[in-house]
């Protein structure tokens, strides 16, 4: 019994030490990201559904806040797959408030052109047109969205990547506007939380955001705003997913 108690104390001390080093290293990392991304940019986060901003992009949003970026959010659907669209739009606004995204900078598209449905393929040209209009109107110089894997493989996520990729490859983005995509990882890495940090540091090509302990709590509060989506498996996701703590991103 005494040996077990000592083991628990030792584990607690190691965990405390790890968190101290982690928080300190992230302050240094934040300065490094600032040099690469530039401070006080106008950034557009393009997502497919309410809760994407917290479930997948919270480390990026909070990391950009450290760099004093002005963040805009464009959500391409109301998340009405189960006829909860009105509820989910309100939840998205609450989550954005927690994450520090001004509500005046949030745009939710709610029409039949972009249904929340993994079986429906959104039209790439139409998505790109809407995206480009939003970029130009708001003077955006950095766009953040999903990569080709869509993190979860959802077709709506992948449609956003296809659209921004088309804009980039065809030279239609305004001069000086860059694109960052969130790297998808395999299922094992996806659910080992901070244990994935060494691999993330090793494999990240361009930008890595890692939340400190205070920011993790903030990300969890944002995700908790999506009450209609908090089924048991999403509660496990909040506990174990790396995307609640770590974002690796690559430039197009």
- Residue ranges in the chain whose pLDDT is less than 50: 8-19, 21, 24, 27-28, 30-31
Q: How far is CA 188 from CA 41, 56, 193, 225, 231, in A?
A: 34, 16, 10, 27, 21
Residue 149, Cβ density class (10 Å: 0-12 exposed, 13-18 middle, ≥19 buried): middle
Asked whether residue 7 is assigned to any structural domain, the reply reads no
Asked whether residue 2 is assigned to any structural domain, the reply reads no
CATH number at residue 65: 3.40.50.10320
Residue with tokens 């449609």: 159
Asked whether residue 17 is assigned to any structural domain, the reply reads no
Asked whether residue 6 is assigned to any structural domain, the reply reads no
- pLDDT score for 14: 44
The angle at the Cα of 120, spanning 52 to 51, to the nearest 5 degrees, equals 10
Structural domain including 162 reads 38-251
Q: Provide the number of structural domains found in the chain.
A: 1
- pLDDT score for 149: 98
Asked whether residue 158 is assigned to any structural domain, the reply reads yes
Asked whether residue 190 is assigned to any structural domain, the reply reads yes
Radius of gyration of the chain (CA): 18
- pLDDT score for 16: 45
- pLDDT score for 139: 97
Q: How far apart are CA 21 and CA 5, in angstroms?
A: 25
Asked whether residue 174 is assigned to any structural domain, the reply reads yes
- pLDDT score for 35: 56
Residue 234 is inside which H or E element, if any? helix 232-240
């Amino acid at each position: 019994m005494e040996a077990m108690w000592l083991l628990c104390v030792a584990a607690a001390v190691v965990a405390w030490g790890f968190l101290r080093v982690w928080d300190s290293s992230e302050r240094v990392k934040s300065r490094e990201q600032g040099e690469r991304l530039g401070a006080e940019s106008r950034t557009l986060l393009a997502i497919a559904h309410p809760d994407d901003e917290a479930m997948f992009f919270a480390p990026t949003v909070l990391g950009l806040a450290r760099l004093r970026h002005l963040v805009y959010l464009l959500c391409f659907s109301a998340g009405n797959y189960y006829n909860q669209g009105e509820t989910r739009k309100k939840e998205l606004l609450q989550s954005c408030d927690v994450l520090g995204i001004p509500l005046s900078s949030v745009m939710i598209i709610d029409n039949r052109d972009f249904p929340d449905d993994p079986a429906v393929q959104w039209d790439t040209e139409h998505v790109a047109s809407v995206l480009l209009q939003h970029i130009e109107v708001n003077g955006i110089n950095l766009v953040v969205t999903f990569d080709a894997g869509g993190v979860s493989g959802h077709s709506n996520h992948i449609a956003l990547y296809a659209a921004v990729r088309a804009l980039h490859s065809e030279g239609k983005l305004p001069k000086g506007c860059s694109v960052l995509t969130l790297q998808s990882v395999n299922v094992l890495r996806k659910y080992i939380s901070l244990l994935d940090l060494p691999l993330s540091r090793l494999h990240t090509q361009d930008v890595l955001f890692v939340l400190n302990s205070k920011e993790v709590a903030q990300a969890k509060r944002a995700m908790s705003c999506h009450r209609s989506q908090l089924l048991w498996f999403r509660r496990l996701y909040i506990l174990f997913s790396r995307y609640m703590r770590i974002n690796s991103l690559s430039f197009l």
